[in-house]
Chains A and B, each alone.
Chain A
C-alpha cells in the first residue's frame, strides 16, 4: 500500500482473544495494535479514497458512508460479543500508529474508565411504534353554528391532548421498566419515519446497557411488554446486542439504582 492512514474502530484491553476480525473498511485487514495495556482495533486505509477530503466530500453520500459505517460497525460487533470494546466514533483517523499510541496515552484514563463501565455488558435497543391511529372523529364536525363549533372544537383538542399525555406516560413506563432491568439506559431522539423506514410513528428510541448474564431476563421482559403493548396500540421492536455505543465517551445515561 502506498500512503495509508490509520483508522481506529474501537479500543479493548490488550490481549483480548480477538483473532478473526471480519474485513474492515475498504476490505482492509483489521488487527489489534497494543500499547500500554490498551489495544486499538485498527486497519490501514489508503489515503487515496480515505483522506480527510474524501470524508468531507462524502459526508452526504449515503452509499459511500453507508458502506463505511457498516464495516466499522461489523468490526465492532465482532469485537463486542467477544470482549469489552469502547467504540470510537466514525471517522477516527490517525497519521501513523505512533501518533495513535500517543493519542491513546493521553486518553488512557477515559478509555479505562469506559472499559470498566461496559465490561460484561452490551447494548439493546428497544423502539416503540404507534400502530393505533389517533381517534380523529371530531365532535366539532357536526356543529351547526360558529360558537357551537368552537366549543366542540376546544373539547376535541383537549381530549386529544389528554390522549397524548396518556401516550407519553405509557411510553415512559415502558422505558423505565426496561431501564430497571438494565444497568444504564438512555432515550434517544426518535427516528423520523423516513429514516426508520417505517410508516408508523416512533414513540421511543431507547438504548439499554444490559449485563450479559441478565440478557435472558431483559429479553423476557421486553417480550412481555411487547405482548401487552399490542392491545394498547404499540408495536415494540427489540434489536441487539449492539456494541455499547450509547454508553461510552461523554454519552449521558441514567444509571439504574439497583446496580448489581
Chain B
C-alpha cells in the first residue's frame, strides 16, 4: 500500500473522458469483480431462468477455476465453504512437527499408562467465527 494520500482522494467524476470513474484507490481485481457480479446484487427471476442453483454452481465453479489457475488443486477445494475468517491458520501447523509429535506420543504411550491430553491441544483451537 502506498501512502501518497493526496493523490488518491476521490475526484468529481468526469462523464466524458474514458476515465469516468472517480479515483479508484486500487485497481479492481478480477477476483473482486467476479465475487461481486456473480455472488451479490439482486436476483429477479424472469422468463429465462438460469436457475438459482445454476448460478450458485456457476459461482462455485468459477471460484474453483480461479483458484486452480494460479495455484494447484492441492490447496483444498472447499475454502469458500469455511466460515472461519482466518481459514488457513490451523493448517499452518507444520506437518513435520505434527508427525514428529505423534511419533513421540506413540513412544511415550508405550512407556506410560496414561497418555497426556495432546489431542485437544492441537485440535481445540479450531473455532468458528461469524
Contact = CB atoms under 8 A, between A and B. Distances in A.
A195 B3 contact: no
Contact of B31 (A88, A92, A136, A196): A196
Given A153-B101, A168-B129, A197-B31, A248 B42 contact: yes
Given A157-B122, A237-B1, A88 B43 contact: yes
Given A149-B104, A190-B87, A56 B43 contact: no
A256 interface: no
B68 to A, nearest CB: 8
Nearest to B87: A190
Contacts of B82: 189
Contacts of A69: 30, 33-34, 37-38
A70 B8 CA distance: 22
A77 B23 CA distance: 12
Interface residues of A, number: 98
Interface residues of B, number: 80
A73 B24 CA distance: 14
A150 B55 contact: no
A179 interface: no
Contacts of B38: 65, 69, 89-90
Contact of A56 (B40, B45, B50, B108): B50
A69 to B, nearest CB: 5
Nearest to B62: A65
Interface of A: 5, 8, 10-11, 19-20, 22, 52, 55-56, 59-62, 65-66, 69-70, 72-73, 77-78, 81-82, 86-96, 99-100, 102-104, 106-107, 110-111, 114, 125, 134, 136, 138, 140, 146-147, 149-150, 153-154, 157-158, 160-161, 164, 167-168, 171, 187-197, 201, 203-204, 215-216, 219, 223, 226-227, 235-243, 245-246, 248-249, 251
